[in-house]
Chain A
Amino acid sequence: MKDTVKKWLEEKQVDMFLGYKMVHGHALPYCFQADRLDEVDDLVVSRERYSLEKMATHIAAVYPEMKIGMLARDCNQRALKVLDIWDQLKKDSVTTFNVNCCPSPLKNHGDCSYLEPSPVGPVKVELGIDNNMSVEHAEHLDQKERFAHWMYEFSKCIKCYGCRNICPVCFCKDCSLEHPELIRSGGALPTEVPLFHLVRAAHMAGRCIDCGLCEDACPMDIPLRLLYRKVGSSVSDLFGYRPGIDEGKSPFNLIGDAPTTEPRPI
């Protein structure tokens, strides 16, 4: 890995390489450059995941000609694909060094802080939604229970906007979550339940790549990944589109185009 990155930097295949470096015992995202080539020896694959592609997007917004290299897990690659489709970070300007991630029949080893189930206490089990629940399981809860439990989860929200800020595929300049006529602005907490979360969930349709960073960043431990997984499975069932995996624009970008599969009766 280190030799390849050195070679890329030396041969100007990339102007900079986003990877990780240990600083004071923390694996931090680090920008490696050709004028500091010996630093590449410190390049590590971190267990913690940062959205390197989001950083690359910020850099590309200021330096559009920059050729960026980065370490990429499966989720980073899906995010890069979505960012390319939405014209935020063109794929020609990014070179990825693919690293191990989610275990699968092809890869039996995974390096990711997200592979262990998240701890869930007794109160959450009684009142809320277990973050490790499957979409199928959550769908089959009794309607009253489902409603009450989701509202409990949403009512915990402290409106930190962390789920939006950390999201690798969130890039809109004007965010509807800050629109005073959609979501009331100001200090009242909890935020508008469940409008805030449903607006965001609907907006993530056709974009969400199921990286789980939102849930990871949520200080109130709301099972956002489960909610967006449901969004993803609905989009996949209805439109046959899987963001970050399938080519082409999101079906939510099309207006009045011919449906690709038979619509369901309403």
Chain B
Amino acid sequence: MTQKKMTFLQELLGFVGLEDRLHLAWISSAEAQKFQKVVTDFTEKIRTLGPSPLARDYQKAVSL
């Protein structure tokens, strides 16, 4: 159910042009390496995407 709800949110954010900035992964408390990998990968992904367009003045975004 959580997975579906997150997919729903991803679709909603994507619809208004905010793709790929929400991620869900199952990591057990015993999977330290997986946790490290997921967080590093997602951090890298966000780094490539650049700062959130919302952080800037939205007026600037409008005049893109």
Contact = CB atoms under 8 A, between A and B. Distances in A.
A151 B54 CA distance: 9
Contact of A266 (B3, B59, B64): B3
Main secondary structure of the interface of A (DSSP, over half): helix
A263 B7 CA distance: 9
B12 A231 contact: yes
Contacts of B11: 230, 234, 238
B8 A146 contact: no
A254 interface: yes
Chain B interface residue bracket vs A? 20 to 34
A266 B62 contact: no
Contacts of B3: 259, 263-264, 266
Interface in B41-61: 53-54, 58-59, 61
Nearest to B2: A256
A148 B8 contact: no
Contacts of B63: 148
A202 interface: yes
Interface string B20-56: 0001110000000000000000000000000001100
Given A257-B1, A263-B3, A147 B53 contact: yes
Given A127-B62, A266-B24, A198 B4 contact: no
A34 interface: no
A147 B3 CA distance: 25
B15 A151 contact: no
Contacts of B19: 143
A148 B15 contact: no
Contact of B9 (A147, A151, A194, A202): A202
A238 B17 CA distance: 20
A198 B1 CA distance: 20
Contact of B12 (A148, A152, A201, A263): A201
B4 A194 contact: no
A139 B59 CA distance: 22
A138 B17 CA distance: 10
A143 B15 contact: no
A214 B63 CA distance: 27
A148 B61 contact: yes
A145 B61 CA distance: 10
Given A146-B15, A148-B64, A234-B11, 13 more contacts: A147-B17, A149-B17, A150-B15, A151-B17, A151-B62, A154-B16, A154-B58, A155-B62, A202-B12, A227-B16, A234-B12, A238-B7, A256-B1
Interface of A: 127, 138-139, 143-152, 154-155, 193-194, 198, 201-202, 205, 227, 230-231, 234-235, 238-239, 251-252, 254-257, 259, 263-264, 266
